[in-house]
Amino acid sequence: MTSERALILDFGGVVTRTLFETHDITERTLGLSPGSLTWRGPFDTATDPLWVKMQNREITERDYWLTRAGEIGRMVGENWADMQTFVRRARGAEPELVLRPEARDAILRARDAGLKLAILSNELDLFYGVEFRQRFPLIDLFDVIVDATYTKILKPDPRAYEQVLSELGLPREACVFVDDQKKNIEGAEAVGLPHVHFDVTRPAESYARALAMLGL
């Protein structure tokens, strides 16, 4: 049964720890004083009205992170016009530091059980860069990577979900899609793809639910 099933993961926030969770790494790497970065996104929305605007769909996720990249660039006296610069400068030197331990456990468990693994991302290489992805732990275990950096088809567009299913060669009912953004979960729901809305504040619970849906 499990050999004909697949776990489909968003990347940022699901496979990696969020940039909110790694403020200490960012500050240390960039030479900023501890506590310089105060916005906490879903971990403390009161600190982050810009995050609230994104959740209300007044701005896009890309808009949010490009704004943050520009802010941090100015803090170090530079002009950062893209997320790739932000991620590479902030924590790209050690990709293993940002891998979620819960993601590592779930990915290895799924692979050991014979499940297929896929990534469906809106900005994997756009945000992280090709070199980061190539050095990221466990990336070689994924059978399929669909990245809108290249396809130009962003979740929640139905075509994004249909593409990953086509490349996996599996029916949607044999898959579980995991994403931390509500709009992307709504997109999966619209195409009938089983899903888990990943809670970045409770990653172990979210992964346990996804694996249970796949019979693990």
* pLDDT (tens digit per residue) in 23-33: 998 999 999 99
Q: Across the beta sheet with 144-147, what order do the strands follow?
A: 144-147, 116-121, 6-9, 175-179, 195-197
Number of domains in the chain: 2
Are 77 and 140 part of one and the same domain? no
Residue 93: the pLDDT is 65
- Give the domain-ending residue among 71, 94, 117: 94
- Give the domain-ending residue among 67, 94, 121: 94
Are 89 and 61 part of one and the same domain? yes
Are 171 and 149 part of one and the same domain? yes
Low-confidence stretches of the chain (pLDDT beneath 50): 1-2
Question: What angle do the packed helices 203-213 and 101-112 form, to 10 degrees?
Answer: 10
